[in-house]
Amino acid sequence: MQQNQTISVVITTYNRPDALEAVVEACFMQDDKNFEIIIADDGSTANTRDSIARLRARSPVPLKHVWQPDEGFRAAMARNRGTLAAAGDYIIFLDGDCVPQRDFVSRHRALARPGFLVSGSRILLSPALTQKALLERIDLPAMGLLDKLRYRLRGDINKVLQLLLRLPDAGRERKKFSWRRIKSCNLAVWRSDLEKVNGFDESFVGWGHEDSDLVVRLFHAGVLRKDGAFATEVLHLWHREARRDEESSNRKVVLERAANKTTQATRGLREHQGEAPFVMPAP
């Protein structure tokens, strides 16, 4: 991808402003500044709105806040609305608890290629390190070698090699479909490809597998994958696991679509065309 092309980083969030601040602060420190931030807010309260307002006031890049009412887990809808608010031709989806390293945007730019999406990976942080990082406002991407090794030995991060090595973009294209490492917390897709399949499918109920569904449909539409491991790792702050009441039914839908070669979301981007953005009610 050319250096002068704008990238849109769509960050999903829900009522966790301390984690969101850590993520956005890390975005401010990127070595590639030719991108914009879209915060796709799935119904957070005024605390998050106020935090975003403070961040926007000193943001070195364009920053937008797209909000929708809290009506349960609707991350797919938030990501679709974030996509529609984006100005870039290339969308990087990032979760509001996944702290990017300094070269996150530039690495994704280097990996971008027409006809491919990039599935990144993550490094999990322990509850103790997460709490310490948020309370003390530790700059996680600036960790030195000794800190990384010490945290790994103590079990505060689940892997360290990916923090120490960067691999060139060679031999990392997946010609065949794989379920491995599909995470919308770190996923880059061309906007035109998202439009081709109608974006994330909002018909999924509850948590789970809407990201796998998107990648399956993109694959059937002719979009292949590149592996962003050892290039685009994010530091995933610990959180309690979401309720997974609908996981089995969602997974069943994805497997059926994989077998049927489905490409289109039942309810997605097209259903929001011409829609006025939601505004959080005044306190």
* Range with the largest mean pLDDT of 58-67, 162-171, 206-215, 243-252: 58-67
Q: Is the pLDDT of residue 244 over 70?
A: no
pLDDT tens sequence across 62-117: 999 999 999 988 999 999 999 999 999 999 999 999 999 999 999 999 999 999 99
pLDDT value for 273 = 82
pLDDT value for 169 = 61
Rounded distance, CA 149 to CA 158, Å?
A: 11
Q: Is the pLDDT of residue 283 over 60?
A: no
pLDDT value for 171 = 40
Rounded distance, CA 234 to CA 15, Å?
A: 20
CATH architecture for segment(s) 7-266: Alpha-Beta Complex (3.90)
Q: Are 14 and 43 a contacting pair, CB within 8 Å?
A: yes
More reliable by pLDDT, 108 or 244: 108
In one-letter notation, the amino acid at residue 139 is D
Rounded distance, CA 187 to CA 12, Å?
A: 12
